[in-house]
Amino acid sequence: MFLILCVLLPFIGKAKTWSVDNTPGSKADSFSLQGIINIASTGDTIVVMPSYLSYSSININKKLFIYSQGFSAHLNNQNPDKRPILSTTTVASGVNGVILAGLIFEERLYFNGSSGKILNNHLRGTVYIQGSSNLIEGNLFTGFTFTSQLELSGSNLLIQNNYFSIRTGGANYSNGYSMIKGGDTSSIIRNNLMVEVIDGGGGISGGGVGFFQSSSAYIRNNILWSNVNSRRNFQAGNSGSVFQNNITYSANSKVDTLTGFNYNDTMPKFEGGFSNSLLPYYSFGNDLRLKSSSVGKAGGSDNTDPGLYGRAYTYNMFGIPIWLVQFSEFTIVNPKAKANQKIKVKIKLQP
């Protein structure tokens, strides 16, 4: 409880904080996430505890702040299989200010509201952004529900510092699949790492997926990486996007250059030492910061690095929301304190 109170005071004000845990025997406010959503008031916070069980599908029809401690099981060494998993999730049209953070979405996410935030989640199915003025930041995209990872139909959207990854793993895809589909000229797509990897069998036909399909957004400071044979142009299928200060690299073929000023067809050098044979797929231990010797280092449109860590953003591989403090040590120094005596606490934060 100390952790929750310390971190959430700037967010919750006088609103109520609820806890949800569907683990049998838990002492949370409820085992049902949808049940808490139904009784919560606009502006309330809901803390979702990692569990062995999915919280199933939910519908959000009011402004709520719903978060967990991160999507990685490595955060809970005593119960490494616990996850904050949700199925199909819908944010209703006309609902403003919803925040979803640190969660796993196993299926589709329909975000029809506006002025909301999708932060530090693991998204395994297609995400549909139909509302306007939403922020999508710090997330991991790894799956397709149908043919896209992120579909944009709202305006004034900001998609930044996300990791988009397709790894075939034996599956077969076509060039009809896309990482981002849509996005008009009012939207900005920046500082994302987008990796297309044929690994473990399977393949992608037709020259690879569409990195930006039917898009006319402003696309800057991204890293686009692929090892598909006969890779087609990275801007194939877009509708006139403006490209600026992006790094593109096709490991197994030469591709056409992006229009505008970009670092075309040059392998970025990561601190983790990745190359054509050592692939930059998602893994907790992979260090995907640019080396000082890499092309594009400090060469973004804002003079920071292209990719995940540009804009001085700290991308978290475990999905920990950047405002959530994690303690590596929390010790009460004088546990036998008497009445009215101050308790001394020793706290060490995770780096």
pLDDT digit string (tens) for 282-305? Answer: 888 889 999 999 999 999 999 999
pLDDT of residue 337: 67
Confidence label for 72 from pLDDT (cuts 50, 70 and 90): confident
pLDDT of residue 116: 98
- Is the separation of the CB atoms in 50 and 320 below 8 Å? no
Q: In whole angstroms, give the CA distance from residue 125 to residue 249.
A: 26
pLDDT of residue 177: 94
Query: Domain-by-domain residue ranges, the chain?
Result: 2-349
Instruction: Report the pLDDT averaged over residues 38-66.
Output: 96
pLDDT exceeds cutoff 60 at 10:
no
pLDDT of residue 325: 62
pLDDT of residue 1: 34
pLDDT of residue 275: 80
Confidence label for 345 from pLDDT (cuts 50, 70 and 90): low
- Is the separation of the CB atoms in 193 and 288 below 8 Å? yes
Q: In whole angstroms, give the CA distance from residue 312 to residue 287.
A: 15
Q: Which of helix, strand or coil describes residue 75? A: helix
pLDDT of residue 144: 87
Confidence label for 4 from pLDDT (cuts 50, 70 and 90): very low
pLDDT of residue 204: 93
Burial bucket for residue 300 (CB in 10 Å: 0-12, 13-18, 19+): buried
pLDDT exceeds cutoff 50 at 281:
yes
Q: What is the mean pLDDT of the chain?
A: 89
Alpha carbon separation from 192 to 1, 180, 221 (Å, rounded): 34, 11, 7
pLDDT of residue 331: 56
pLDDT of residue 287: 93
pLDDT exceeds cutoff 70 at 350:
no
DSSP state of 263: B
pLDDT digit string (tens) for 130-142? Answer: 999 999 999 999 9
Q: In whole angstroms, give the CA distance from residue 172 to residue 203.
A: 5
Query: Which of the given ranges, 77-81, 97-101, 319-323, has the highest pLDDT on average?
Result: 97-101
Confidence label for 92 from pLDDT (cuts 50, 70 and 90): very high
pLDDT exceeds cutoff 80 at 340:
no
Indicate the helix (H) or strand (E) that contains 111.
Answer: strand 109-111
- Percent of the chain having pLDDT more than 90? 71
Phi-psi region of 10 (alpha: psi -120 to 50; beta: other; left: phi over 0): alpha
pLDDT of residue 82: 87
pLDDT digit string (tens) for 201-251? Answer: 889 999 999 999 999 999 999 999 999 999 999 999 998 899 999 999 999
Q: In whole angstroms, give the CA distance from residue 183 to residue 130.
A: 10
Alpha carbon separation from 141 to 104, 156, 201, 265, 338 (Å, rounded): 10, 21, 20, 24, 51
pLDDT of residue 15: 85
**CATH architecture, range 2-349:** 3 Solenoid (2.160)
pLDDT exceeds cutoff 50 at 47:
yes
pLDDT digit string (tens) for 315-339? Answer: 999 998 987 765 545 556 566 666 7
